[in-house]
Chains A and B, each alone.
Chain A
Amino acid sequence: MNRLSWFNTVSLTLGFAFLYIPMVILVIFSFNASKLVTVWAGFSTKWYGELLGNEAFLDAAWVTLKVAVLSSSIATVLGTMAAYVLVRGGRFLGRTLFSGMIYAPLVMPEVITGLSLLLLFIGIGLDRGVLTIVLAHTTFSMCYVSVVVSSRLVTFDKSLEEAALDLGCSPAQAFRLVTLPIIAPAVISGWLLAFTLSLDDLVIASFTAGPSSTTLPIKIFSAVRLGVSPEINALSTVMISIVTVGVIAASLVSKRSMVRQQKDEQEAARAQ
């Protein structure tokens, strides 16, 4: 191991400090015994206990989770289908237009997406609630899924599908038995992306949420406007931990599969 030069040490420290000091402060103050956020009065976990008893927060967490799971699942199905047709469907009328249009929500300001969805829901007389948030989140995360999946599909060897058809599969079977298992990693990362997008969306959710269906980001945002409480800090710390665990788990899984593949390839080289 090389020792870092003092310059590198300083840059590294500054960079990480810039990124993490706000979060570290938040985490530390979530364990503050005092009700005042800025005054340290000893270690305590009482805010976490209080959090567990706070019905409003628990409800919001439940809504958020429901919305994230539902919308990312629907978006994954729709996004994968869209990607498949755009990459595989051959040339059909308006294909270029469609593939261009599917990326539009990526660059559209969220405020506009949210507003237009709100107008639509009012227009068709749909009461705002969990359903409308799910629909809204599906709409904007679907295009992310389709981008991820189609970038995998363009490198997918088409003759694999042809071989499946040749061996007696219907097109649907060929997709289920051959295409899907092979592109599964891309589909899963599409789902994860959609899930996180839905988890931390504030703007679109605030346009489409009803009074009885507040998501966690909305709840935190409105609570903070009345003043930061240690309870919010505790809640945020919980969210940070969940995200951290998720990220570490994902990287471990992908590292494991990479190691396994390397081992396989070495074995193959020996077999020759």
Chain B
Amino acid sequence: MQSTVFTPWEDPDAKPLIRFQNVTKRFGTFTAIDDLSLDIYEREFFALLGPSGCGKTTMMRMLGGFETPTEGRIELAGKDIVGVPPNKRAVNMMFQSYALFPHLSVWDNIAFGLRRDKRPKAEIEARVAEMLKLTRLEKFAGRKPHQISGGQRQRVALARSLAKAPKLLLLDEPLGALDAKLRQDTQFELMDIQEKTGTTFVIVTHDQEEAMTVASRVAVMDEGKLIQVATPDRIYESPANVYVADFIGDVNIIEGRATPGEDDTYAIDWAEGEVPLQATSATRFDKGQTCYLAIRPEKVTISTDRPEGAVNAVQGKVLDIAYLGNLSTYHVELPSGMVIKAQTANTRRISRRSFTWEDPVWLSWTVTGGVLLAG
């Protein structure tokens, strides 16, 4: 996707566009954002991910100017913006509730921000037409918000926030109400817009796949704190802890005790009377330290016989099969009662599937297939 490598966060001289410095936000005694520091760079597509109520919208509202941090400092392009009112910020926000003006038509909603800038009429008309085309709303330009469907409303909200081509665009769950196809199209559209305009995007989403698709970096939050901030592939391949591994995608977590071996390899005792599992890790574990082996289902191979030379192999029986069209996920129960998920691509027709319920099977994965985590 990105032809030139875009990694300003690794450049110590790069100036961040947004800088949260030890920001805390309390509502009464409730701490919504807890001593959070974060840099977001120009032209980034930054995704905030986290469970409901973890403070994503609160972060956005502080950037938009609707909440002031209780403590700490927020900088936009090097300037402290705490206390700058929303209308004086080069920031636009798409609200989670859309916040469309009910008394104005779709056209007037989109033109609203442009009119406040006192731009020439022809320019406004051209810009609104462009936005309507982008969001495929041409047919609905004359309707009022209550005369269109939920997905159409969401697109109006998106068009309205994009219209002013702001330096920073905040999108709070922009695509939640769209169907899968339109959602994907809009995701690529957003990335396209971002590439063309160089706008910095901060996007909140519940959908981790969406975050993976669009984002240059992903921040995983929990209870007002950042748990990990990294590129999508790093978040997925080397999560910082069990929470992140579990939050992003499907994962099997096996708890055990580590015994250091050679070359960063560890033997993990995970069940009475079972052969220890092998995994490599760059972080050090002491002998006997509790550790968690996180393995993605697609890294687990399922077979009838024990694969020859497999480092990690366990036996179990098929408990359940989830057919997802292109993929199948097998839930395999081990003798200990633990359930491990294995995913395979359905390259053959379903009638030719090799395993069925209750079949005894072997699960195996390589020494680098899993990630060893401390907690």
Contact = CB atoms under 8 A, between A and B. Distances in A.
Interface in A118-176: 157, 159-160, 162-171, 173
Interface string A167-195: 11111010001100110000000000000
Interface string A37-76: 0000000000000000000000000000000000000000
B146 A166 contact: no
Contact of A163 (B101, B103, B117, B148): B101
Contacts of A160: 99, 101-102
B66 interface: yes
A171 B85 CA distance: 10
A168 B99 contact: no
Contact of B97 (A157, A173, A178, A182): A157
Interface stretch (B6-14, B33-41, B87-95, B327-335): B87-95
Interface in B130-161: 140, 143-144, 146-149, 152, 160-161
A200 interface: no
**Chain B contact patch, size range:** 20 to 34
B116 A163 contact: no
Contacts of B149: 268, 271-272
A168 B117 CA distance: 7
A181 B103 contact: yes
B170 to A, nearest CB: 9
A166 B148 contact: no
A265 B146 contact: yes
Given A162-B86, A265-B146, A168 B164 contact: yes
Contacts of B64: 162, 166
B198 interface: no
Contacts of B260: none
B147 A271 contact: yes
Interface residues of A, number: 24
Contacts of B65: 165-166
A177 B102 CA distance: 12
A182 B99 CA distance: 13
Given A168-B87, A170-B87, A271-B148, A163 B95 contact: yes
Given A157-B97, A159-B97, A167-B160, A268 B147 contact: yes
A173 B85 CA distance: 14
Contacts of B307: none
Contacts of B66: 162, 165
A164 B112 contact: yes
Given A267-B147, A268-B149, A167 B112 contact: yes
The 6 closest A-B pairs by CB, nearest first: A167-B113, A168-B116, A163-B99, A268-B147, A159-B99, A272-B149
Interface of B: 64-66, 85-87, 91-93, 95, 97, 99-103, 112-113, 116-117, 140, 143-144, 146-149, 152, 160-161, 164
11 contacts: A157-B99, A162-B99, A163-B99, A164-B101, A164-B112, A166-B91, A167-B160, A168-B87, A173-B116, A177-B112, A271-B149
Interface of A: 157, 159-160, 162-171, 173, 177-178, 181-182, 264-265, 267-268, 271-272
